[in-house]
Amino acid sequence: MISELLRDAERTWCTAAVARIQRRGRLVWEGAFGTTRDDEFAQPVFVDTRFDLASITKIVVSTLALALVSQGRIELDEPLLAWIPEWRGSAHAPITLRMLLAHTSGMNSGADYRTLFDRNVEHFALTRELIATPGERVIYSDLGMIALGVFLERIQGRSLPAQVAALERPSLQFVPSQTERSRIPATEDDGWRGRVQGVVHDEKAYLMNGIAGHAGLFGTAADVAWLAEGYLAALYARPHALLPETLAREAVREAAYDPVLRRGLGWALKTSDDNSCGRWFSMESFGHTGFTGTCVWADPVRDLTGVLLTNTVYFGRIDSRPLRAAFFEALVERYGR
């Protein structure tokens, strides 16, 4: 059923789909469908094809930040003024790491990229006027995650690519090489850059040379499953946990309520059956989506992880939640009973 669903999807929703399912930390199913494009330049995709992960980048960056908490380098509720002095004396001054991770910093969600051509995007993100009091409510914010990336580079004294490289996942990288780009599924024809392939789709990240805290990473389905397993492994005391059990548990429980999608620390939490994980994942499930068509959800009750990487924006900015929900419901019916 899963194969049929994704085979149909690559004819209607996207040109490329790669999925991976893990149970108790072990691979139980994976498959690759379709091609990188829908034209004469198309190449087949494989289970190790790299995709533009879009906002799943946020979870990688959040994990890097949480690792600093586990090392005692910073507290979750410590204001970030020591590393972001631009906030001193401003409404931003109370912002903490927890607020950035839970999207409660009050920072604006983003900006029209066409207003940023002559701006330093990093400086813009740090200094744009807040739209809520820090800690007041959830506002899903690319700008907040850009700020998180800035914080990480300043506290570590190393670039984000260097910090990601230290995770030892060679296929998980910013800025693919020129020779790799044709093997990466293309995203949309955005009217500005033409058909985008092998460079970051997100416009703000593109204006930041492809390296940002909110978007820009390319990776495989195995990379994304490894990320989710790093949290499940901590909960189940398996090897390869990315964080201590207590901190991993805090990251995947509610840090801020939102009626559409509750927030953990970095992760989104299932809030209703209308979420992209569908009806059968438990209410303890955590996950994240990416605008390009990427998605991951993990259910700690079933110890089950599903990853679906697609390029649904290839055919336009359509809502791919029905495809995602159908995939996650099908995987529970097959592997989660």
Q: What is the pLDDT of residues 100-123, one digit of tens each?
A: 999 999 999 988 877 888 889 999
Q: What are the CA-CA distances from residue 55 to residues 29, 79, 292, 332 (Å)?
A: 24, 24, 9, 24
The per-residue pLDDT for 94 is 98
Which of 16-20, 118-122, 242-246 is least confident? 118-122
**Number of residues in the chain:** 337
Domain 2-47+258-335 - what CATH class?
A: alpha beta
Q: Report pLDDT for 318.
A: 86
The pLDDT value given to residue 313: 97
Statement: residue 302 has pLDDT above 80: yes
Q: How confident is the model at residue 50 (pLDDT cuts 50, 70, 90)?
A: very high
d(CA 306, CA 139): 26
How far apart, in whole angstroms, are the C-alpha atoms of residue 105 and residue 305? 29
250 pLDDT band (50/70/90 cuts)?
very high
Q: Pairing between strand 51-52 and 173-174?
A: unpaired
Overall average pLDDT of the 33-45 stretch = 97
Across 310-323, average pLDDT: 94
β-strand partners of 293: none
Mean pLDDT (whole number) for 203-215: 97
Question: In the chain, where are the structural domains located?
Answer: 2-47+258-335, 61-165
pLDDT value of position 117: 80
pLDDT of residue 116: 80
Q: Convert the pLDDT of each residue in 259-276 to its tens digit.
A: 999 999 999 999 999 999
CB neighbours (10 Å) of residue 252? 23
Average pLDDT, the chain: 96
Strand 26-34, strand 262-263: pairing? unpaired
pLDDT-derived band at 40 (thresholds 50, 70, 90) equals: very high
Quick one: pLDDT at residue 113? 78
Residue 327 has pLDDT above 90, yes or no: yes
Q: Distance between CA 231 and CA 249 in Å, rounded?
A: 8
Determine the pLDDT at residue 35.
98
Give bridge partners of residue 35 from the DSSP assignment: 44
pLDDT one-digit tens code per residue, 60-113: 999 999 999 999 999 999 999 999 999 999 999 999 999 999 999 999 998 887
Q: Identify the pLDDT of residue 323.
A: 97
